[in-house]
Amino acid sequence: MAEFSIIDQYFKRPSKPDVSLGIGDDSAIVTPPPSQQLVICTDTLVAGRHFPLDTSAHAIGWKSVAVNLSDLAAMGAKPHSILLALSLPTVDHDWLAEFSRGLFDCCDRFGVALIGGDTTQSTQLTISVTALGWIEHGQAITRSGAQVGDYICVSGQIGDAAYGLQHLGHPLQQRLDYPTPRCHLGQQLKGLASSMIDISDGLAQDLSHILKASKLGAKLLLDQLPIDESLKSIDLRQAWHYALAGGDDYELCFTISPQNYEKLLRQHLDVPLTIIGEIAQQTGLLFEYMGEICPLDVHGYQHFA
* Least Cβ distance, residue 124 to Mg ion (angstroms): 25
Q: Which is nearer to ligand ADP, 130 or 255 (CB)?
A: 130
* Least Cβ distance, residue 113 to ligand ADP (angstroms): 10
* Least Cβ distance, residue 118 to ligand ADP (angstroms): 5
Which of 93, 232, 220 lies closest to 157 in space, CA to CA?
Answer: 232
Q: Which is nearer to ligand ADP, 116 or 247 (CB)?
A: 116
* Least Cβ distance, residue 103 to Mg ion (angstroms): 23
Which option in ligand ADP, Mg ion, none does residue 297 bind, with CB closer than 5 to 8 A by kind? Answer: none
Per the annotation, where are the binding residues? 26, 42-43, 50, 71, 117-118, 143, 198, 200-201, 248, 301
Residue with the shortest CB distance to Mg ion: 26
- Which residues, other chains included, contact 16 with Cβ-Cβ below 8 Å and sequence gap of 6+? 80, 81, 113
Which option in ligand ADP, Mg ion, none does residue 86 bind, with CB closer than 5 to 8 A by kind? Answer: ligand ADP
Q: Which is nearer to ligand ADP, 122 or 283 (CB)?
A: 122
Q: Which is nearer to Mg ion, 26 or 235 (CB)?
A: 26
Per CB under 5 A, contacts with Mg ion among 13-52 are 26
Which option in ligand ADP, Mg ion, none does residue 227 bind, with CB closer than 5 to 8 A by kind? Answer: none
Q: Which is nearer to ligand ADP, 41 or 84 (CB)?
A: 84
* Least Cβ distance, residue 54 to ligand ADP (angstroms): 23
Q: How buried is 124 (Cβ within 10 angstroms: 0-12 exposed, 13-18 middle, 19+ buried)?
A: exposed
How many CB atoms are located within 10 Å of the residue 51 CB?
Answer: 21
Q: Report the interface residues with ligand ADP, using CB under 6 A.
A: 7, 11, 23-26, 84, 86, 114, 116-119
Which option in Mg ion, ligand ADP, none does residue 117 bind, with CB closer than 5 to 8 A by kind? Answer: ligand ADP
* Least Cβ distance, residue 69 to ligand ADP (angstroms): 17
Interface positions with Mg ion (CB under 5 A): 26
